[in-house]
A = this chain, B = another copy of it.
Amino acid sequence: METTLTQKLNIQYPIIQAPMAGGPTIPELIAAVSNAGGLGSLGAGYLTPEQIRDTIREIRKRTDRPFGVNLFVPEQTEVSEDIIEKMNNYLNETRTELGISLNSSTSELKETFNEQVQVLLEENVPVFSFTFGIPSQNIIEEMKQCGIVVIGTATTVEEGIQLEAAGVDAIVAQGSEAGGHRGTFVGEARDALIGTMALLPQLVDHVAVPVIAAGGIMDGRGLVASLALGASAVQMGTAFLVSLESGAHAAYKEKILTSNEDSTVVTYAYSGKAARGIRNDFINKMRLYSGTIPAYPIQNTLTRDIRQAAAKANNPEYMSLWTGQGVRLAKELTASDIVKQTMEQAAALIERLNKNKDN
């Protein structure tokens, strides 16, 4: 008999907590999801190798169940000093408004992907997921030889086909509803905003590996819909972002809990890479910028002090409020209750669909 994705991941329920980098995915959340029968995931893209190692050990103190670690595949970025300086001058206006020190030089951007990968191998994490591209063949093969399940991220069918050819064990289909950074690595992110309802069945038809649905899935309805469209599991971000165990900033959670489905926008403002988040003053201010926004990760580095100062001041208008379009369905619950309620609602829903089928 064929191994299902949940069997391969050694989890009870087909629910993966999305690896949200930058704060929300603290060990408490990850362990709570895994202990509830789902797969908790660390968004480790911004962490140093040492931080990743420490966090993995903290997770293992809290659970002996499987969990995943997600990394950002680095891209070649060439941005001229002129573009960076012009942006930095523009950002200095915001720094002045926020009362933080001006930044006239950009800090060195150190490439740490290979070192991050090394930590995952050394710590022998159960699941390695990635976004923004495809790691080298060597890395994917080494992970698989260590028994690590490898999961890539696609926003189009073509990306899914390339991921399968690279040997991944499963593919996250990231629909346009999803919060946070777009995983697009073939073509432009603006052309790859395919709704989950359309992306899933088209991707499933073109790859043989299991597909994990992401984007707009908030409860048992989204889980059943995803399974119907051919997914083997779902990845839920926003739902877990507001959970009680989440490490997200209180002002960020509060913004999500008071926003609507049309409150988000896809923006390059914070990081230089397309990402969906709640529209706020910083995004509006960057819309007025006449120059070129430096590509990721440059812009992300440039705006870091602003985001950190805003967080310290509890000012969500200058924080990156990554959120998906299912935002009205976000509820402050424990991660365990989210998993449990999602599964219960899904089971009841399937029963009802089956009962109504012949009417």
A219–B229 Cα distance when bound, in Å, is: 10
| Minimal beta-carbon separation of A292 from chain B (angstroms) | 18
- A4 (CB) vs chain B CBs: closest residue: B359
A265–B175 Cα distance when bound, in Å, is: 15
Partner of A177, one of B195, B225, B353: B195
Contact A202 B329 (CB under 8 A): yes
A residues 317-358 with Cβ under 8 Å of B? Answer: 324-326, 328-329, 347, 349-351, 353-354, 357
A307–B224 Cα distance when bound, in Å, is: 42
Contact B177 A329 (CB under 8 A): no
A192 interfacial contact with B, CB 8 Å? yes
Partner of A226, one of B196, B225, B350: B225
B-chain residues with CB within 8 Å of residue A228 when the two chains form the complex: 221, 224-225, 228, 349, 353
Total interface residues in chain A, CB < 8 Å: 49
Contact B328 A157 (CB under 8 A): yes
A197 interfacial contact with B, CB 8 Å? yes
Contact B221 A201 (CB under 8 A): yes
Contact B224 A197 (CB under 8 A): no
Contact B219 A195 (CB under 8 A): no
A298–B359 Cα distance when bound, in Å, is: 47
**Contacts A347-B357, A357-B351: A194 and B230 contacting too (C-beta < 8 A)?**
no
Contact B226 A328 (CB under 8 A): no
Contact A221 B229 (CB under 8 A): yes
- The listed residue with most B CB atoms (<10 A of its CB), out of A156, A197, A350, is A197
A187 interfacial contact with B, CB 8 Å? yes
Contact B221 A230 (CB under 8 A): yes
A199 interfacial contact with B, CB 8 Å? yes
- A227 (CB) vs chain B CBs: closest residue: B353
| Minimal beta-carbon separation of A348 from chain B (angstroms) | 10
A108 interfacial contact with B, CB 8 Å? no
| Minimal beta-carbon separation of A128 from chain B (angstroms) | 26
| Minimal beta-carbon separation of A350 from chain B (angstroms) | 5
Contact B202 A225 (CB under 8 A): no
B-chain residues with CB within 8 Å of residue A177 when the two chains form the complex: 194-195, 197-198
Quick check: which of A50-58, A141-149, A210-218, A242-250 contacts chain B, the rest being far away? A210-218
B-chain residues with CB within 8 Å of residue A224 when the two chains form the complex: 225, 228, 353
A205 interfacial contact with B, CB 8 Å? yes
Q: 24 A-B Cβ contacts within 8 A?
A: A157-B328, A158-B262, A176-B176, A187-B262, A191-B262, A192-B262, A194-B261, A195-B215, A196-B198, A197-B197, A197-B217, A197-B326, A199-B325, A201-B219, A202-B261, A202-B326, A205-B328, A205-B329, A221-B228, A225-B225, A225-B229, A228-B228, A228-B353, A350-B354
Interface residues of A (CB under 8 A from B): 156-158, 175-177, 187, 191-199, 201-202, 205, 215-219, 221-222, 224-230, 260-262, 265, 324-326, 328-329, 347, 349-351, 353-354, 357
